[in-house]
């Protein structure tokens, strides 16, 4: 088989696998800096290579370390793509100058406007809702919106993560965007006054606190709960029926959403391949792998959710622009410090 006919065979195969929106043959490499580490991502990368012939070289690490590394490498950085989670962190990467604006008709069409950076430096590829969970045995009238978490009737009952965590920062930034700085500050003060314990642990620990009895009300990203439905998470799955779920603010702005996403590196040596990779992530099949691998909601609205996520039911999502929300992070940090939210 000649090289040309081999190439066209592969291009046809990729069209069949990925659907009409993505079938481009290109040679070369792609250097991916990623803080994602899910088994399903392996399939994602090998499908991309099969479809395009582009080899993916991966460097994995913690998000903030990858951003620092890109900053230190400067114009000599081999990074083509940064993949990470949370709007606050993607905005941190943008502000550090390690991303660049790109032009892609496919991304504009597939990814909803509120899940994109206003300058096209980052795009969301999956979504998670940050919602309220409660102990069904102890709480008869759970808070139905974020504002109510500050209600004195929940004194000594609320568990939450620390303010240094990006999820906390983006949630308060969204409250600032929706309700203003003053309301956000009195909310944060009220939640601190209701703490059952000093902020500690990750999202799974907030859920474990509900089954252990230490907490009555807590906040977690949806995927930690969905994961415990799908597979055994110690200290959680066996008692998960004790936990009630509230998608907050359904009569108002809707549940607070965050994302997992990425952007093209500022000095990407393989910029065209990098854009192709992001466009591939927006294809139907990649959307399913990308979201299902971490029990998340796809970013592309027409793509169905995975089985574990479907169990959470349907809800109204806050469609506020996450790019606007991210700009409030410094104000959120200031409020956390002022109210003593550790
Ligand atoms: Fe997480």
The string of pLDDT tens digits covering residues 115-128 is 999 999 999 999 99
Confidence of residue 17 (pLDDT cuts 50, 70, 90): very low
Q: 3 CA distance to ligand 1 centroid (A)?
A: 44
Q: 226 CA distance to ligand 1 centroid (A)?
A: 12
Q: 187 CA distance to ligand 1 centroid (A)?
A: 23
Answer yes or no: are the C-beta atoms of 300 and 111 closer than 8 Å.
yes
* Alpha carbons within 13 A on the beta-carbon side of 5: 2
At 27 the pLDDT is 66
Q: 322 CA distance to ligand 1 centroid (A)?
A: 17
Answer yes or no: are the C-beta atoms of 39 and 87 closer than 8 Å.
no
Q: 153 CA distance to ligand 1 centroid (A)?
A: 29
pTM: 0.87
Q: 52 CA distance to ligand 1 centroid (A)?
A: 31
Phi, psi of 163 (to 5 degrees): -80, -10
Q: 46 CA distance to ligand 1 centroid (A)?
A: 24
State both tokens at 8. 């066209």
Per-residue pLDDT tens over the stretch 69-112: 999 999 999 999 999 999 999 999 999 999 999 999 999 999 99
Alpha helix ranges (H) inside 231-311: 271-281, 284-292, 307-310
Per-residue pLDDT tens over the stretch 225-235: 999 999 999 99
Q: 4 CA distance to ligand 1 centroid (A)?
A: 44
Per-residue pLDDT tens over the stretch 138-160: 999 999 999 999 999 999 999 99
Q: 229 CA distance to ligand 1 centroid (A)?
A: 16
Q: 21 CA distance to ligand 1 centroid (A)?
A: 30
Confidence of residue 26 (pLDDT cuts 50, 70, 90): low
The CA-based angle 335-118-255, given to 5 degrees, is 55
Residue 12 reports pLDDT greater than 70: no
Q: 253 CA distance to ligand 1 centroid (A)?
A: 23
Q: 222 CA distance to ligand 1 centroid (A)?
A: 9
Q: Please report which helix (H) or strand (E) contains residue 173, including its range.
A: helix 166-179
Per-residue pLDDT tens over the stretch 33-74: 999 877 778 889 999 999 999 999 999 999 999 999 999 999
Per-residue pLDDT tens over the stretch 278-330: 999 999 999 999 899 899 999 999 999 999 899 999 999 999 999 999 999 99
Q: Please tell me the distance from the alpha carbon of residue 227 to that of residue 247, in angstroms, as a whole number.
A: 17
Which of the 8 DSSP states describes residue 318?
P
Q: 27 CA distance to ligand 1 centroid (A)?
A: 34
At 312 the pLDDT is 93
């Amino acid at each position: 088989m000649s090289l040309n006919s081999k190439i066209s065979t592969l291009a046809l195969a990729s069209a069949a696998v990925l659907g009409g929106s993505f079938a481009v043959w290109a040679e070369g490499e792609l250097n991916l800096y990623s803080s994602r580490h899910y088994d399903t991502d392996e399939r994602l990368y090998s499908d991309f290579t099969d479809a395009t012939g582009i080899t993916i070289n991966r460097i994995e690490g913690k998000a903030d370390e990858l951003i620092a590394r890109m900053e230190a490498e400067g114009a000599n950085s081999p990074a083509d793509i940064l993949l990470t989670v949370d709007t606050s962190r993607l905005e941190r990467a943008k502000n550090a100058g390690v991303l660049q604006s790109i032009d892609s008709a496919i991304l504009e069409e597939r990814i909803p406007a509120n899940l994109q950076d206003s300058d096209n430096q980052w795009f969301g590829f999956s979504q998670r809702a940050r919602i309220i969970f409660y102990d069904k045995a102890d709480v008869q009238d759970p808070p139905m919106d974020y504002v109510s978490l500050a209600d004195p009737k929940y004194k000594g009952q609320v568990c939450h993560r620390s303010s240094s965590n990006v999820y906390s920062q983006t949630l308060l930034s969204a409250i600032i965007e929706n309700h203003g700085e003053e309301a956000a500050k009195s909310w944060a003060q009220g939640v601190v006054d209701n703490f059952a314990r000093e902020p500690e642990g990750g999202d799974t620990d907030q859920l474990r606190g509900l089954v252990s009895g230490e907490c009555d009300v807590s906040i977690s990203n949806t995927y930690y709960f969905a994961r415990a439905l799908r597979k055994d998470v110690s200290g959680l799955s066996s008692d998960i029926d004790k936990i009630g779920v509230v998608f907050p603010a359904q009569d108002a702005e809707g549940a607070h959403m965050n994302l997992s996403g990425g952007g093209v590196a500022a000095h990407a040596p393989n910029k065209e391949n990098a854009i192709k990779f992001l466009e591939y992530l927006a294809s139907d099949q990649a959307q399913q792998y990308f979201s299902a691998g971490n029990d998340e909601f796809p970013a592309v609205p027409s793509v169905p959710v995975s089985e574990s996520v479907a169990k959470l039911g349907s809800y109204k999502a806050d469609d506020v622009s996450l790019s606007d929300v991210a700009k409030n992070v410094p104000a959120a940090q200031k409020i956390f410090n002022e109210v003593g939210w550790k």
